[in-house]
C-alpha cells in the first residue's frame, strides 16, 4: 500500500504542475466561476489521493481529474433551477462558438483576456491570470510583485469574490477591446516566463513561449506581442550557458556563446525587426533590443554601452519599475559611470528595495567601486540573505575580477 500511495502522490503532484492551469481554464469556461473551478479541482485532487492508492492510478490522470472536478461542480450546483442551468449552457455554447469564430487558438489565452476585464481591479489582473490560468501559487506571484504572500493571497480572494458576486460576463472581448487588455496579458506571460527562468522550471518557461507564439498569431499587427516573444527567445537561447557543468552560475559576459541556441536567436532577431517596423517602440520591443545588443558581443568582441544606455533610458520611460531602474543603474556602473549609477540608486531609496535582491547586488558593487569596502560587504550580506539559490550565492561571494 505504501508503494501504491507514493505512486499516486507522485502522479497527482505531476498533474498539478503540468496541467493545473489548463484544467482550471476548461472548468471555468463551463462554469464562469474561477474560484468555483479551483474548488472543484481541489476536490478532484483530494478524491484522487483517496482512491488511486486503492484502485490504481488511471491511464489518463488528467482526464480523470477533469471528470471528477466536473462532477464536483455538478454536485455544488444542483440547487440551481433547471431553467438557470439551461440558460447558462446556451450562453456557454454561444461564447465558445464566438471564441472559435474570433480565432482564439487556445482556451488559456482566451481566459487571459477575460481576466483582463476592465471591471477587475487593474492591480490584480496580472496576478489573477498567473494563479487562475497558469497555476502559480500566491507565494511565487507575491515574490514577482514584491509583496507579502498573505497580502497577495487576500487580494486574489477578493478579486475572485468580486467576479462571482458581480456576475461578470465570462466572454471573449470584441476585437476592438483586445488592444486595451493586451498589456496585462503580456505582463502575465512574461511574469510566468520569468518565474520559470529564475526557478529553472523549463516547462513553465516553454509554456510561456508557447502562449507568446499564439499571441503573435492572434494579433499579428501588435508589435509588442512580437517584442515579448523575441525577448523570451533571446533569454531562452542562453539557458544552457547560464550554468557550468558543476551547476555554478555564469554571468552573461562570461558565457560560452557556442552554447547559445542560434536558431532561437535568429528567430528573435527576425521578430524584433518585424516589430520595429511598426514604428511603435514599447516596453517589450525595448527589452528585446537590449538583449539583441548583448547577443552581439561574441561577434564584435565588445559591448555597445552607448546603445544600451539609450535603450535603458527609453525602457525606464516606458516601464519605470524597480527592476528596470535597478538594471539601468547596474548598466551605468558596468559602463564605467559610477557617479550616474550613484544618482540612479539613490533615487530608489524609499521604494520597495529592502527585499529586492538585485538592488543590494548593484549597491554592493557600487560601494566597492567607490572604495567603501565595509559598506559593500554589508550590502552583499543583505543580497546573499535574499536568495536560496546556492549557485548564485556562490557566484556573488566570489571576489571581483
pLDDT tens readout for residues 109-149: 877 887 888 878 777 888 888 887 777 777 777 776 767 77
pLDDT value of residue 100: 47
Query: Is the per-residue pLDDT at 264 higher than 70?
Result: yes
Q: What is the DSSP letter of 174?
A: P
Give the cell for residue 246. Answer: 558543476
User: All 3 cell numbers of residue 208?
Assistant: 510561456
Q: DSSP string covering 111-133, please?
A: HHHHHT-TTS-HHHHHHHHHHHT
- The pLDDT of 26-53, averaged and rounded, is 84
Residue 167 has pLDDT above 80, yes or no: no
H/E stretch holding 157 reads helix 149-166
Give the Å distances, CA to CA, from 335 to 176, 302, 329, 392.
43, 12, 10, 23
Query: Could you tell me the sign of the dihedral formed by the alpha carbons of 231, 232, 238, 243, in that order?
Result: positive
More confident residue, 252 or 344: 344
As given in the structure block, the three cell numbers for residue 329 are 543603474
Provide the pLDDT for residue 14: 83
Residue 101: the pLDDT is 46
**pLDDT grade, residue 222 (50/70/90)?**
very high
CA distance 401 to 385: 22
**Stronger pLDDT, 156 or 374, i.e. the higher one:** 374
Q: What is the pLDDT of residue 52?
A: 85
Look over the chain and give the mean of its residue pLDDT values, rounded to a whole number.
83
202-223 as b/e: b if 16+ CB within 10 A: eebbebbbebbbbbbebbeebb
The residues spanned by each domain of the chain are: 1-79, 320-401
pLDDT > 70 fraction of the chain, expressed in percent and rounded: 88
Our CA dihedral for 275, 277, 282, 284, rounded to 10 degrees, sits at 20
Amino acid at each position: 500500500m505504501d508503494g501504491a500511495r507514493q505512486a499516486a502522490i507522485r502522479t497527482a503532484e505531476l498533474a498539478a504542475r503540468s496541467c493545473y492551469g489548463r484544467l482550471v481554464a476548461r472548468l471555468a469556461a463551463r462554469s464562469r466561476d474561477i474560484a468555483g473551478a479551483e474548488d472543484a479541482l481541489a476536490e478532484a485532487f483530494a478524491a484522487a489521493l483517496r482512491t488511486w492508492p486503492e484502485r490504481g492510478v488511471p491511464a489518463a490522470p488528467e482526464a480523470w481529474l477533469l471528470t471528477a472536478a466536473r462532477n464536483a461542480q455538478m454536485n455544488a450546483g444542483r440547487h440551481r433551477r433547471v431553467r438557470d442551468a439551461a440558460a447558462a449552457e446556451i450562453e456557454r455554447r454561444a461564447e465558445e462558438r464566438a471564441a472559435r469564430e474570433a480565432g482564439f487558438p487556445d482556451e488559456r489565452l482566451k481566459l487571459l483576456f477575460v481576466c483582463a476585464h476592465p471591471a477587475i481591479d487593474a492591480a490584480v489582473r496580472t496576478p489573477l491570470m498567473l494563479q487562475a490560468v497558469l497555476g502559480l501559487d500566491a507565494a511565487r506571484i507575491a515574490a514577482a510583485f514584491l509583496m507579502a504572500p498573505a497580502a497577495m493571497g487576500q487580494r486574489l480572494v477578493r478579486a475572485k469574490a468580486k467576479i462571482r458576486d458581480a456576475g461578470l460576463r465570462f466572454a471573449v472581448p470584441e476585437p476592438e477591446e483586445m488592444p486595451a487588455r493586451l498589456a496585462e496579458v503580456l505582463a502575465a506571460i512574461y511574469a510566468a516566463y520569468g518565474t520559470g527562468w529564475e526557478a529553472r522550471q523549463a516547462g513553465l518557461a516553454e509554456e510561456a513561449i508557447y502562449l507568446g507564439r499564439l499571441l503573435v498569431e492572434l494579433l499579428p499587427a501588435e508589435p509588442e506581442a512580437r517584442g515579448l516573444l523575441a525577448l523570451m527567445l533571446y533569454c531562452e537561447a542562453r539557458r544552457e550557458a547560464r550554468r557550468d557543468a558543476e551547476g555554478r552560475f555564469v554571468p552573461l559576459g562570461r558565457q560560452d556563446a557556442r552554447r547559445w541556441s542560434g536558431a532561437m536567436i535568429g528567430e528573435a532577431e527576425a521578430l524584433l525587426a518585424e516589430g520595429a517596423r511598426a514604428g511603435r517602440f514599447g516596453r517589450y520591443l525595448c527589452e528585446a533590443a537590449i538583449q539583441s545588443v548583448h547577443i552581439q558581443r561574441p561577434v564584435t568582441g565588445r559591448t555597445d554601452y552607448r546603445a544600451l544606455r539609450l535603450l535603458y533610458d527609453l525602457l525606464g520611460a516606458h516601464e519605470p519599475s524597480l527592476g528596470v531602474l535597478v538594471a539601468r543603474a547596474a548598466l551605468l556602473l558596468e559602463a564605467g559611470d559610477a557617479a550616474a549609477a550613484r544618482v540612479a540608486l539613490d533615487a530608489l531609496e524609499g521604494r520597495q528595495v529592502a527585499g529586492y535582491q538585485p538592488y543590494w547586488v548593484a549597491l554592493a558593487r557600487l560601494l566597492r567601486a567607490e572604495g567603501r569596502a565595509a559598506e559593500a560587504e554589508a550590502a552583499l550580506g543583505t543580497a546573499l540573505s535574499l536568495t536560496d539559490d546556492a549557485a548564485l550565492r556562490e557566484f556573488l561571494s566570489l571576489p571581483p575580477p
